[in-house]
């Protein structure tokens, strides 16, 4: 997608120097700062500090991290050390484990001197696949958008889409998952309007989704997270679409904290609630998501403080609670499958159920 009209990907490979470049998401939307990753430590730090975030991009960054590690030392021990270091960066997004295992599988049969090159190729392949996959997810979800548009009392009115967190191109390599169909709808001339929930505490909706949509010219309105139920109840939302960090084999969905509340409101008011995911986000080893998906616990400071730009244009963080207030900060929640109208994958939309997912797995 584009930044200031120029095409970019959220992670770009420099073939000559064998490094990767990322957009540092911690300073968006106020600054577009590119950062070079060239060591295992750089890749791990970028994930931990959330310079990169979003399940698919975490996976792609970790794949480059494996290459950086193997370029230094391609022994089995070093490979396992790198895997463990990268795997420990963030606990919820399963694409991380998926990408690490994929690189290891791709390089394991090579002699150590050839492993780094094989890892580089695999990291590139993961990135290219991500772009194709997300484009396909967008195509399939666009069909759902079109049928909802046709059912509107006034089909010439914009389709009102609500999303949460950031599942756009900056959370992936390109296109995004939940935002991919929005870009494709807009590019096809369909009238869409997006309700962007700010996504406290990290504000991925306000700082990333609103930024992406603005760069692409897609009409949108920023809301506080607590406004979602009210808008759904008033009939101002035609559908909700979000991404996911992990989906279990029975279709339970872990996504950014606040997703579950939107799903509850959508169910109550018969508004479709879609989850856009690549198959790499499905954890086939897990069934009960509420019980088993590890939920990242984040710093209390993200709750008690809010960062932003001050009147002088300098980055600042302000305290919004009495000093020392105890705070809890769950990074994700789990929406049980029964609240999900469909999972939209690169292979089409499927019911969020063990049977439908097993069928899809057998088919692809």
* Residues belonging to the active site: 245
Residues 6+ apart with CB under 8 A from 82: 40, 65, 66, 69, 70
Rounded to whole angstroms, the Cα distance separating 185 from 348 reads 17
Residues 208 and 176: beta-carbon distance below 8 Å: no
Contact indicator for 332, 257 with CB cutoff of 8 Å: yes
Q: Quick one: 242 or 271, whose CB is closer to ligand MRU? A: 242
- Our CB check for ligand MRU shows the closer of 56 and 272 to be 56
Residue ranges binding ligand MRU (CB under 6 A): 53-56, 93, 165-167, 171-172, 176-177, 204, 243-245, 255-256, 331
Cα torsion 212, 218, 219, 220: sign: negative
């Amino acid at each position: 997608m584009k930044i200031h009209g120029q095409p970019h990907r959220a992670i770009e490979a420099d073939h000559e120097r064998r490094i990767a470049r990322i957009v540092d998401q911690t300073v968006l939307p106020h600054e577009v700062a590119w950062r070079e990753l060239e060591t295992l430590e750089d890749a791990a730090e970028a994930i931990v500090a959330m310079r990169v975030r979003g399940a698919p991009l975490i996976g792609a960054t970790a794949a480059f991290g494996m290459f950086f590690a193997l370029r230094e030392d391609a022994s089995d021990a070093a490979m396992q050390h790198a895997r463990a270091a990268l795997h420990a960066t963030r606990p919820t997004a399963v694409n991380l484990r998926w990408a690490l295992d994929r690189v290891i599988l791709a390089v394991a049969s090579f002699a150590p001197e050839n492993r780094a090159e094989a890892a580089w190729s695999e990291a590139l392949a993961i990135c290219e696949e991500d772009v194709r996959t997300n484009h396909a997810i967008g195509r399939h979800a666009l069909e759902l958008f079109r049928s909802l548009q046709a059912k509107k009392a006034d089909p010439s009115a914009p389709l009102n889409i609500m999303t949460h967190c950031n599942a756009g191109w900056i959370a992936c390599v390109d296109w995004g998952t939940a935002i991919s169909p929005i870009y494709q709808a807009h590019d096809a001339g369909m009238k869409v309007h997006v309700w962007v929930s700010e996504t406290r505490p990290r504000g991925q909706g306000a700082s990333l989704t609103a930024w992406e949509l603005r760069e692409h010219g897609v009409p949108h309105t920023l809301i506080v997270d607590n406004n979602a139920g009210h808008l759904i109840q008033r009939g101002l939302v035609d559908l909700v679409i979000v991404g996911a960090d992990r989906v279990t084999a029975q279709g339970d969905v872990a996504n950014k904290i606040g997703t579950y509340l939107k799903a509850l409101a959508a169910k109550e008011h018969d508004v479709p609630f879609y989850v856009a995911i690549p198959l790499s986000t499905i954890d086939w080893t897990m069934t009960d998501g509420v019980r088993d998906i590890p939920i990242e616990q984040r710093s209390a400071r993200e709750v008690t403080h809010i960062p932003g730009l001050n009147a002088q244009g300098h980055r600042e963080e302000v305290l919004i609670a009495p000093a020392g207030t105890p705070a809890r900060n769950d990074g994700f929640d789990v929406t049980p499958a029964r609240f999900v109208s469909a999972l939209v994958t690169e292979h089409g939309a499927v019911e969020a159920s063990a049977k439908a997912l097993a069928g899809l797995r057998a088919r692809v």
